[in-house]
């Protein structure tokens, strides 16, 4: 992989979407309980390497096929933190400036490199003062990979 593919030489703009990223939302303006948003993207080999470099998480489970083959997963899996990042990407697509306050995560099933992850949000509580609680699920082909709850503050953009 060249520096161009991984590094700062692939600039990405605020609010940018790549051709294989998709967002669906029924939220228009201020969120209400029951509103939903879905964001999906494929997770590539390059994405796993980018996450490893950015975070420092060089767990062999994610980077070394031979070593990962000997684990309960039988091969490499995507970092749980990267799946969680796709949930944050969905939250970032809510209208306004989204500030993360809390997130809890349960890691339920592994995601393989090359799979497409869909992060689904549902607004479950309006906590007032522009704070909202959302149910967050990241799945591949119907399987819930990561589930949890997020609390965010949404300010006018």
Residues that bind a copy of itself (CB under 8 A): 1, 5-18, 21, 39, 41, 43-65, 67, 71-72, 79-82, 84-89, 92, 97-107, 113, 155, 157
Which CB sits closer to a copy of itself, 36 or 148? 148
Which CB sits closer to a copy of itself, 26 or 45? 45
Smallest gap from Cβ 36 to a copy of itself, in A, equals: 17
The SS3 of residue 49 is helix
**HSE (side-chain half, CA atoms, 13 Å) at 61:** 13
| CA–CA separation, 124 and 137 (whole Å) | 13
CA geometry: angle 12, 43, 8, nearest 5 deg = 30
Smallest gap from Cβ 60 to a copy of itself, in A, equals: 4
> Nearest CA to 33 among 144, 98, 128, 157?
128
Smallest gap from Cβ 22 to a copy of itself, in A, equals: 10
| Rounded (10°) CA dihedral 154, 33, 38, 46 | 40
Hey, how many other C-beta atoms are within 10 angstroms of the C-beta on 10? Answer: 11
Smallest gap from Cβ 142 to a copy of itself, in A, equals: 20
Which CB sits closer to a copy of itself, 27 or 63? 63
Which CB sits closer to a copy of itself, 7 or 127? 7
């Amino acid at each position: 992989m060249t520096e161009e593919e991984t590094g700062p030489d692939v600039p990405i703009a605020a609010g940018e979407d790549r051709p294989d990223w998709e967002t669906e939302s029924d939220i228009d303006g201020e969120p209400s309980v029951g509103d939903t948003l879905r964001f999906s993207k494929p997770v590539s080999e390059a994405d796993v390497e980018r996450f490893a470099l950015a975070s420092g998480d060089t767990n062999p489970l994610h980077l070394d096929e031979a070593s990962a083959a000997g684990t309960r997963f039988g091969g490499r899996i995507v970092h749980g933190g990267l799946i969680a990042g796709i949930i944050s990407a969905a939250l970032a697509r809510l209208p306004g400036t989204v500030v993360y306050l809390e997130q809890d995560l349960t890691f339920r099933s592994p995601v393989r490199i090359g799979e497409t992850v869909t992060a689904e949000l549902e607004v479950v509580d309006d906590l007032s003062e522009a704070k909202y609680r959302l149910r967050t699920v990241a799945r591949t082909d119907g399987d819930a990979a990561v589930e949890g709850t997020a609390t965010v503050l949404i300010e006018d953009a």
